[in-house]
């Protein structure tokens, strides 16, 4: 597609429910990132994939968070047993190459509200 596509755009989950957030990166982009953005804050790094390999998952806040990219394209961020503090915008981004100098393109985000 023309840009990074995320779905769902909006999700309301009951506390304790599992959610799955999908990211379709720009075709051919090898690097994929997930960030979490709370209201009024800057994005915070969650995890990074290079093709299908998850090279850094140091930002995942707990073992309830899990991300995968099995075929090196589409990625899914899964949150188990959601808590109210998980309410945030989850941003996916991709870039063409491996290095820092490659332009990073963000999706519009998935807005998660846990009630």
Residues that bind other proteins (CB under 8 A): 31, 33, 35, 40-45, 48, 55-56, 58-59, 89, 91, 93, 100-101, 103-106, 108-109, 111
**Least distance in angstroms from the C-beta of 37 to other proteins:** 8
59 or 72: whose CB is closer to other proteins? 59
CB count within 10 Å of CB 18 equals 11
- Number of helices (H) and strands (E), helices first, in the chain? 0, 11
82 or 95: whose CB is closer to other proteins? 95
Which of 51, 38, 37, 20 has the alpha carbon at shortest distance from 106? Answer: 37
């Amino acid at each position: 597609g023309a840009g990074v596509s995320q779905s769902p755009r909006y999700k309301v989950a009951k506390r304790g429910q599992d959610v799955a957030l999908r990211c379709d990166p720009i075709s051919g982009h090898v690097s994929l990132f997930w960030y979490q953005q709370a209201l009024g804050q800057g994005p915070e790094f969650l995890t990074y994939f290079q093709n299908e390999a998850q090279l850094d998952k140091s930002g995942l806040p707990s073992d309830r968070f899990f991300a995968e990219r099995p075929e090196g394209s589409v990625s899914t961020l899964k949150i188990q047993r959601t808590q109210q503090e998980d309410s945030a915008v989850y941003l996916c981004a991709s870039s063409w190459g491996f290095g820092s100098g490659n332009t990073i393109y963000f999706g519009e985000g998935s807005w998660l509200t846990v009630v």
